[in-house]
Amino acid sequence: MTLFIHLLVIAFWFGALAPPYRISGSEPPVVAGRIVESFSALAVWVVPALFVAGLVLALEILPNLQALRTSYGALLIAKVAGFALLMALAALNKWRYGPAIARGDVVAAKGLRRCVLAEYVLIAAVLCVTAVMTTFYSPEE
C-alpha cells in the first residue's frame, strides 16, 4: 500500500504540473493566479504524503543505517536531495510566483514556467536515479 501511495503521488505531481505551466502562459494573470493557488493548496497536502511514503518504504527496505553507505544508499540519498530541491522550487512557486501572478505580474508567469520546467527535469532525474538504484543495486549489498 505504501508503494502505491508513493507512486500515486508521483503521478499526481508529474501530471498536475502541466496545467499551471500552460495556463500561466495563456490565461489572464487573475485566472492563472487562482489556478496556481488551487494547485498549491492541494499540493501542500498531497506532496508531504510522498515524503512520508518514501520514508516508510526506505525504513522497510533498508536492513540498517549502514546500508546508506552502499551504492544503493548513496542513490537513495541522491533521491532525497532531488526531492529537497523539488520542495524548494515548489515553495518558490507557492510563495513567490503564484501570488505575483495573481497580482498581474507577467514576469512572475515566466518565472513560474521556468520553475515548472526545472521541476520536470528534476522529477525525471529522480526517476532515472530510482531506475538505476532498483535495477542494478540492492540494499543488502
Mean pLDDT is lowest, of 21-30, 90-99, 128-137, for: 21-30
Q: Which CATH class is domain 2-136?
A: mainly alpha
| pLDDT tens, position by position, 18-34 | 988 998 888 888 888 88
**pLDDT for the residue 28:** 87
Residues across the chain: 141
**Eight-state DSSP code of residue 62:** -
**pLDDT for the residue 34:** 84
Domain ranges of the chain: 2-136
Instruction: Report the chain's terminal Cα–Cα distance, integer Å.
Output: 26
Question: Structure pTM?
Answer: 0.87
Compute the distance between CA of residue 31 and CA of residue 58 in angstroms, rounded to an integer: 40
* Average pLDDT score over residue span 63-90: 94
Mean pLDDT is lowest, of 51-55, 124-128, 130-134, for: 51-55
Compute the distance between CA of residue 76 and CA of residue 42 in angstroms, rounded to an integer: 26
**pLDDT for the residue 114:** 95
**pLDDT for the residue 137:** 93
140, with CB counted inside 10 A (0-12, 13-18, 19+), is exposed
Is the predicted pLDDT of residue 72 greater than 90, yes or no?
yes
